[in-house]
Amino acid sequence: MAKALLVIDIQNDFLPPNGSLAVASGDEIVEPVIKLMNDPKQEWHRIVLTRDWHPPDHISFAKSHGKPEFSKIEYHSPIPGDSSVQEGVLWPVHCVQGTPGSQLAAPLIEEQKKLGCRVVDKGYLHDREYYSAFNDIWDYHRTELNNYLKSHHITDVYVVGLALDYCVKNTAISASKLGYKTYIIKDYTRAINTDSESERKLEAELKKYNVKLI
């Protein structure tokens, strides 16, 4: 067994008080996540930090469509010949490549340098939304994450970070589909939607894909 810790999108734009798409209380998990990264009992074989890493005209920005933030959109597959459609949410501009908002939280950058953790970016193709750090929502474009984990013989994946109900959830589901034993450590995450109906749906979805919420 070899364990990897995936730290999802703990970037300035997702953090209160100044992030453009701040997840409520997201700042509360930064120090605990750093402790978890350094916990000798965990015996992490590899730690990966991910970044949402968008071009300025990204398709997931409300501004790119002239529509209100947080309104719904129907995404059409960018692949010619594929007529599939998915419902998405249009976000405020966030995590534009190279801006201060796109940087990892400052204490995490220190930790990443100290421990030599790999950084994996997603969301950089402008014509498609990404939630999972493994692939776009259509599962056409794959990041290097799976190859990286496979090359280090990772068997078990633990996912923490932001936001629980989007990128953490979808990264965990991808990991499970790819054959990793997959866990989300809930105390080290925060969600965008925290009502009980959303929580119930999330738990059911994770169960369906054999992701353990611990």
Catalytic residues: 9, 122, 167
Residues that bind Zn ion (CB under 5 A): 52
Q: Return the SS3 of 188.
A: strand
| Nearest C-alpha neighbor of 10 from the set 174, 193, 163, 166 | 163
Distance separating alpha carbons of residues 102 and 113, to the nearest angstrom? 17
Least Å distance, CB 142 to Zn ion, is 17
Least Å distance, CB 55 to Zn ion, is 11
Hey, what are 176's tokens? 């499970």
- Closest CB to Zn ion among 68 and 80? 68
Distance separating alpha carbons of residues 83 and 76, to the nearest angstrom? 7
- The order of strands in the sheet holding 211-213 is 118-122, 44-52, 3-8, 156-162, 181-190, 211-213
- Closest CB to Zn ion among 52 and 165? 52
- Closest CB to Zn ion among 131 and 158? 131
